Amino acid sequence: MFAEYFSTYYLQLHYGTVFITANYFIAVMLPVMFAGSLRRPRAWAQLAGRMLLSCAGMELCGVVLYTLLGDANLQPFVGGVVITAAAALLTRSRSPAARLAMGMGYTGMFFLTLGITMMVGNIRVEEDFDLQRALVLLNLTLILLLTLLFRRFSRMGDPAPALLAPLAAVSAASCVFGVNGLFAFLPLSAYTALPYSLVLMLALAVLYCSAFALPVWLRSNSQAQAERFLRQASENTLTVLREDLEHYNRVRHDMKNQYLYMKTLLDEGRYEELRAYWSDWSDQLMPPHMTLACENQTLAIILNMESAKARRAGVELDARVLTPAQLHIADPDLCSLLVNLIDNAVEYLALDDAPARRTVEVRLVQQSLILSVRNPLRPGDEEKALRLTTGKARPQEHGFGSRIVASLARKYGGAVYYQAEDGYFLVRVILTDAPAGKEQP
C-alpha cells in the first residue's frame, strides 16, 4: 500500500505539486513555530531533527489516509492537525494556554494558506507547470511569513485568556474556508470566497498577535505607572527633606543668639520662662534623621532619610561619601537610584531570618559617581540574589526598583554590576556621562 501511495502521490502527481510541497511546508515550519531560543548551534540541530520527525509524521498520516480511504487529498489538513496537536502536547516549556493559542493559530493559518492557494488557481489538479510553480511559491510565502510573525509574538509570553475564545472562533472559520478552497462545498464561487478568506487571514493574524501582545502591553503600562509613582514619591520626599535641612540651617545660624538669651534667663533665675522657651525652641532643632553630613546637600538629605528608615527596620546604614559638592546627576535621578538600592537591601535584612549582622554599606566616590551598596546574605541565597528575585507576594507587581536602576545607568552612559560571594551581595553602579542633551559641570 505504501508503494501505491508513493507512486500515486509522488510519481504520477495525482494531486499536483501544490499538495506535495504544502505537506512539507506545513511540516517543516511547525517546529519553527514551537521552537524555543535558536541562539546556540545545539538548538539548530534539535530544530533540524524535529523538522525530520514532523515530515515523517505528515507522511505517516498520508499513508494511513490512503490505506483507509483509497485517497490522500486530505493529507495536508488531517496530517497538519495531527502533527500540530502533537507539537502542542509535547512542548512542555510553554503554558497550556500558550500551547493552545499557538496550535489554534497555526492550524487556522495552514488551512487558510492552502485554501487561498487553491482558490487563486481555481483548480484541483493542474497541468500548467508555470501556474503550479506560482501556486507553490504563493503557498510557501504565506506559510513562511505567517509562521515567522506568529513565532515572534508567541515568544512574548502567555496569551490573554479573554482572547482565546475569539481566536478559536476565527481559527475554526479559517479551517472551514480552507477546506472550501479544495472542495468548494460552500455556496460561494472562488472569486467570492477568496476575499472572505483574505479578510479571515488578516483577522487571524491580528487576533493572534493581539492575544500575545496585550498582556505585555498591560504589564509595561503597569510598570511605567509604578515607576512614575515611585519617581514622584522620591521627588516629593526629597523636597520635604530639603525644606527640613534649610530650616535647620536657619535655626543653627541663630543658635548663638538663642543660647545667649537662655543663659540670661538662667542667670536671672527665671526658670519657668526658660523652661517654656526651651520647649518652644527645641522643636525647631535638627530633625532626628539628620545625622549624616557631606558636601553634596542632596546626598546628605537622601542618606539621612534612608538612615532613619533603616533604623526603624532594625538595620544600620554605614555610609561613606567622597564626592564633590556638585554632581552631574539630576537630583530626582540620584534620589531614585539611592532609595531603590538601599530600600532593597534594608527590606532583605529586615526579614525574620536575616543574617545577624544587619548593616547596609553605602559607598559613593568621584564626580562621575561610583555607587556601591553591600549587604550580608543568608547562606544559600547567592543564586537567588543574582537572579534579582523578590520574596514578596505577587512578585509580578514588584521588582520595579532594579529596572529603574538599570534605566538610570543607561541614561548616564553607565552600567550596573551584581556580585554575590563571601556571604555578601554587592551592587555597583557606575555613571560616567551627563544625560543626553546636557553638559557636565
* 338 within some domain: yes
Give the phi and the psi of residue 424 in degrees, each rounded to 5: -130, 150
Q: What does the pLDDT look like over 354-373, one tens digit per residue?
A: 777 778 888 888 766 788 88
Residues 321 and 426 in one domain: yes
Say what the pTM is: 0.57
Residues 309 and 441 in one domain: yes
Q: How far apart are CA 180 and CA 196, in angstroms?
A: 12
In the DSSP assignment, the letter for residue 9 is I
Q: What is the mean pLDDT of residues 146-151?
A: 93
* 299 within some domain: yes
Q: How far is CA 259 from the centre of its chain?
A: 60
Q: How confident is the model at residue 207 (pLDDT cuts 50, 70, 90)?
A: very high
Q: What does the pLDDT look like over 242-253, one tens digit per residue?
A: 666 666 666 666
Residues 11 and 127 in one domain: yes
Residues 42 and 148 in one domain: yes
Residue 329: the pLDDT is 83
Give the sign of the dihedral formed by CA 271, CA 276, CA 278, CA 281: negative
Percent of the chain with pLDDT over 90: 16
Q: What is the mean pLDDT of residues 6-18?
A: 71
- Is residue 126 scored above 50 in pLDDT? no
The answer to whether 337 touches 429, Cβ cutoff 8 Å, is yes
The top-scoring range by mean pLDDT among 224-233, 328-337, 363-372, 418-427 is 418-427
Q: How confident is the model at residue 166 (pLDDT cuts 50, 70, 90)?
A: very high
Nine-digit cell string for 75? 493529507
* 262 within some domain: no
* 101 within some domain: yes
Residues 56 and 169 in one domain: yes
The answer to whether 127 touches 14, Cβ cutoff 8 Å, is no
What rounded mean pLDDT belongs to the chain?
79
Q: How far apart are CA 427 and CA 102, in angstroms?
A: 40
Q: What is the mean pLDDT of residues 184-211?
A: 88
Residues 214 and 336 in one domain: no
Dump the DSSP string for 333-351: HHHHHHHHHHHHHHHHHTS
Residues 184 and 303 in one domain: no
Q: Give the distance between the most distant pair of CA atoms in the chain.
A: 124
* 54 within some domain: yes
- Is residue 20 scored above 70 in pLDDT? yes
The answer to whether 102 touches 150, Cβ cutoff 8 Å, is yes
Residue 380: the pLDDT is 80
Residues 213 and 317 in one domain: no
More confident residue, 49 or 231: 49
Nine-digit cell string for 208? 493572534
Q: What is the CATH number of the domain that holds 329?
A: 3.30.565.10
Residue 222: the pLDDT is 60
* 284 within some domain: no
Q: Of the residues 193, 222, 251, which one is the last residue of a structural domain?
A: 222
- The three-class DSSP label of residue 430 is strand
- Name residue 363's beta-bridge partners: 320, 372
Residue 255: the pLDDT is 66
- Is residue 289 scored above 60 in pLDDT? no
The domain of 173 spans 2-222
Q: What is the mean pLDDT of residues 403-424?
A: 86
Residues 217 and 300 in one domain: no
Residue 153: the pLDDT is 93
Residues 211 and 327 in one domain: no
- The three-class DSSP label of residue 377 is coil
Q: Of the residues 198, 222, 246, which one is the last residue of a structural domain?
A: 222
Nearest C-alpha neighbor of 117 from the set 30, 25, 209, 28: 25
Q: What is the mean pLDDT of residues 280-304?
A: 68
Q: How far apart are CA 346 and CA 83, in angstroms?
A: 53
Residue 131: the pLDDT is 72
Q: How confident is the model at residue 397 (pLDDT cuts 50, 70, 90)?
A: very low
* 250 within some domain: no
Q: How many CA atoms lie within 13 A of 304 on its CB side?
A: 22
* 123 within some domain: yes
- The three-class DSSP label of residue 261 is helix
Residues 72 and 216 in one domain: yes
Number of independent structural domains in the chain: 2
Q: Of the residues 222, 240, 260, which one is the last residue of a structural domain?
A: 222
- Is residue 59 scored above 50 in pLDDT? yes
Residue 249: the pLDDT is 65
The answer to whether 302 touches 333, Cβ cutoff 8 Å, is no
More confident residue, 214 or 125: 214
Residues 328 and 432 in one domain: yes
Scan for cell 511540516, then name that residue: 27
Scan for cell 561610583, then name that residue: 370
